[in-house]
Structures are given as structure tokens and as C-alpha cells.
């Protein structure tokens, strides 16, 4: 696996592959890789003969009170795992390579609407930070396809919208969430959980699932389902940020006739803010 720290190194390798007519898949990450990331790499390898992964803890998507300084970094282990999963090139830039000027002077990309709801309410500026860094990575790598986890469903929707609005010729592929055996969605932030919190954490998935089961059983009183779920989460020890049933494709409030829904939630457990979701296809009522 080649490692590039600079944009010109990255571009020179990518140019060689392009000239040889090879398709390129990109997997953007912030490192501290787990099985969820490796599933993205495996999908990328099925989608294109060349796979580029990036590791960049993007300061633009962290709020001033968030965990930027403590975000886990495990570069040596990450490299070993990426080699094992046959990544061709790892791009690991430093902050000044991506943002050569102070962050507040850099051009940013805002996806209106979608960026301001759900996680965007609690994390103002977060999705502009994500959209901006992903658009920059897309311009640097110019991949044919880019792969993201469905665990970050709202992020995936923001990236799809940004790619479509900017007419970027890149297929955006979502990969289903990889879970621990007890249902907890894999996430770098699970490492913040104490042993007692880790025991409670799978209740987030269980609560999403039981809401989805009520929808599948034909119930359409969305507010009642959401209210019960918030109550369950609070009782089990979470501090929920939100728990909503939304239309899957654009996260709008659903009509009773909508069939592709997503149950989506964010909740604090100790110092970890966990997010998860449960896509559900319901029949006609
Ligand atoms: O999902 C992540 O790890 C990040 O938000 C991403 C997409 C790599 C952008 O920094």
C-alpha cells in the first residue's frame, strides 16, 4: 500500500491509474478503523480495481466543545488493517495540506435544509464541515465511486445531495451498518463508553428496532412511537438528543402513504454521543 501525505503525491498516482483506464473507489475516514470501515473498503474493492482510503480528522466538522482533541488515533493499526484489506493507496494529509488558510477563511459548502435538522440541530456547522471536506477529497482523488456507512445516514444523505447539486460525476454507495453481536453499531466513539455504559449501549439499537416493528405492524401514530422510544431510552440510562421516524430518502417528516422510512436517533451515554438508525419499508395502510 502506498502512503501519500501530500495532494500532489496523491494526484500523481491517481493520474497513472486513470491513464491506464482503471476505475477508482474512495473510502474517506477519520481513522481509528473498525470492522465497519473495513466493510467499506471491501465494498470499494468490489466496485473498482483501485481503492484509495483517506484518514483525516477534519477539524471543520467539530464544534468548539466537541472531541476533536481527544479523537482516537491509531495510525499504525489502521495501516496494517488497510494493507490486509488490499487498499492501494492511503492518503493521510495534515491539517495545513487540506486547509492552508485559517478555517474561517476557507470556502465552505453548505447543503441547506438537510444540514440543519436532526444531528445538525445539536451540531451547528457539522454537516458543512463534512460536505466541505468530502467535496475537497472528491476533487483531489476524482474517484468514480465513493463509499460511506449507512450508520451515518444523515451524513450519507447530505453527501448524496451535495454530489448531485454540484454535478460531480461520482456514484455514492452506502454500506449497511456493521454491528457488534449484541446489536451495538460499530463506531470509533464506542471506545468512550465505560464497562457499565457498554452494557446499556445496545438498547439504542433495540429501541430503534422495536419502533420499526410497530411501523411494520401497521401503526402510523408516529408521535406516539417516538414518545415511547424517548421514554425507554431515558429509563435505560441514555440522554436522548432526538428519536424520529422520517422519510428515508430526504429525512422529511413522513406522510402516512410513505413506504421507505427510517427510524433515526442520537443519544448520549456518558461522554459518548451515539447515533444509529433502522431503515424500514412499510406496506400501504
Ligand atoms: O464519517 C466520517 O468518518 C467523516 O465524517 C468523513 C466522511 C470521513 C468526513 O470527514
Residue pLDDT, tens place only, 217-266? 999 999 999 999 999 999 999 999 999 999 999 999 999 999 999 999 99
Residue 284 has pLDDT above 90, yes or no: no
pLDDT average, residue stretch 58-62: 98
Ligand 1 pocket mutation pick from 26, 27, 29, 126 by most atoms within 8 angstroms of CB: 29
Residue 146 Cα to ligand 1 middle (Å)? 12
Closest Cα to atom 5, ligand 1: which residue?
Answer: 130
What backbone torsions phi and psi does residue 26 show, to the nearest 5 degrees? Answer: -115, 135
Residue closest to 137 by CA, chosen among 59, 68, 56: 56
pLDDT for 232 = 98
pLDDT value for 130: 98
Residue-level pLDDT at 105: 96
For residue 83, the model assigns a pLDDT of 98
Confidence at residue 260, expressed as pLDDT on a 0 to 100 scale: 98
pLDDT tens digits along 67-78: 999 999 999 999
Q: What is the mean pLDDT of residues 34-39?
A: 98
Kindly tell me the sign of the dihedral angle through the C-alpha atoms of 131, 124, 68, 85. negative
| Pocket residues: Cβ below 6 A from ligand 1 | 28-30, 58, 61, 130, 133-134, 152, 155
pLDDT digits (tens, 9 = 90+) for 106-157: 999 999 999 999 999 999 999 999 999 999 999 999 999 999 999 999 999 9
* Confidence at 97, pLDDT banded by 50, 70, 90: very high
What per-residue confidence (pLDDT) applies to 226? 98
Question: How many residues does the structure list for the chain?
Answer: 285
Among this protein's residues, is 37 annotated catalytic?
yes
Among protein residues, the one with the nearest Cα to ligand 1's atom 2 is 29
How high is the pLDDT of residue 264?
A: 99
Q: For ligand 1, pick from 152, 172, 186, 273 the residue to mutate: most ligand atoms within 8 Å of CB.
A: 152
DSSP assignment letter at 253: P
CA pair distance 187, 184, nearest whole angstrom: 9
Alpha carbons 161 and 131: distance in angstroms, whole number: 10
Q: Which atom of ligand 1 is nearest to the CA of 28?
A: 8
- Residue 183: other Cβ atoms inside 10 A: 15
When pLDDT is averaged across residues 184-202 and rounded to a whole number, the result is 97
220 CA to centre of ligand 1 in angstroms: 34
Quote the CA–CA distance of 92 and 1 in Å, as a whole number.
Answer: 12
Share of the chain above pLDDT 70, in %: 100
From ligand 1's centre to the CA of 61, what distance in Å?
Answer: 9
**Over the chain, what is the mean pLDDT?**
97
| Closest residue by CA, ligand 1 atom 9 | 130
| Beta-sheet pairing, 50-55 with 24-29 | parallel
Give the pLDDT mean for 191-208. Answer: 98
Q: Which of 5, 34, 37, 205 is catalytic?
A: 37
CA distance 41 to 240: 31
Tell me which residue has its CA closest to atom 8 in ligand 1. 29
Beta-strand pair 89-91/50-55: parallel
Q: What's the pLDDT at 285?
A: 58
Would you say 241 and 172 are in contact if contact means Cβ atoms under 8 Å apart?
A: no
Q: What is the pLDDT of residue 55?
A: 98
Amino acid at each position: 500500500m502506498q502512503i501519500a501525505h501530500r495532494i500532489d503525491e496523491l494526484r500523481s498516482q491517481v493520474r497513472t491509474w486513470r491513464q491506464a483506464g482503471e476505475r477508482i473507489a474512495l473510502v474517506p475516514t477519520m481513522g481509528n478503523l473498525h470492522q465497519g470501515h473495513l466493510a467499506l473498503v471491501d465494498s470499494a474493492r468490489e466496485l473498482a480495481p483501485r481503492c484509495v482510503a483517506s484518514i483525516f480528522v477534519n477539524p471543520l466538522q467539530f464544534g468548539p466543545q466537541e472531541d476533536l482533541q481527544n479523537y482516537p488515533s491509531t495510525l499504525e493499526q489502521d495501516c496494517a488493517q488497510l494493507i490486509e484489506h488490499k487498499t492501494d493507496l492511503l492518503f493521510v494529509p495534515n491539517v495545513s495540506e487540506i486547509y492552508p488558510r485559517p478555517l474561517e477563511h476557507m470556502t465552505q459548502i453548505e447543503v441547506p435544509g438537510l444540514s440543519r435538522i436532526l444531528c445538525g440541530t445539536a451540531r451547528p456547522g457539522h454537516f458543512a464541515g463534512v460536505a466541505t471536506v468530502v467535496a475537497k477529497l472528491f476533487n483531489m482523488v476524482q474517484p468514480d465511486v465513493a463509499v460511506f456507512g449507512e450508520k451515518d445516514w444523515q451524513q450519507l444523505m447530505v453527501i448524496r445531495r451535495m454530489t448531485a447539486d454540484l454535478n460531480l460525476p461520482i456514484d455514492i454507495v452506502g454500506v449497511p451498518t456493521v454491528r457488534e453481536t449484541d446489536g451495538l453499531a460499530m463506531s470509533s466513539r464506542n471506545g468512550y463508553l465505560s464497562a457499565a455504559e457498554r452494557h446499556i449501549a445496545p438498547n439504542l439499537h433495540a429501541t430503534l428496532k422495536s419502533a420499526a416493528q410497530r411501523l411494520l405492524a401497521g401503526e402510523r401514530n408516529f408521535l406516539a412511537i417516538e414518545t415511547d422510544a424517548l421514554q425507554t431510552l431515558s429509563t435505560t440510562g441514555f440522554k436522548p438528543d432526538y428519536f424520529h421516524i422520517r422519510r428515508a430518502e430526504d429525512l422529511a417528516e413522513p406522510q402516512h402513504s410513505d413506504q421507505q422510512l427510517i427510524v433515526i436517533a442520537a443519544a448520549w451515554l456518558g461522554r459518548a454521543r451515539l447515533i444509529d438508525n433502522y431503515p424500514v419499508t412499510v406496506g400501504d395502510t
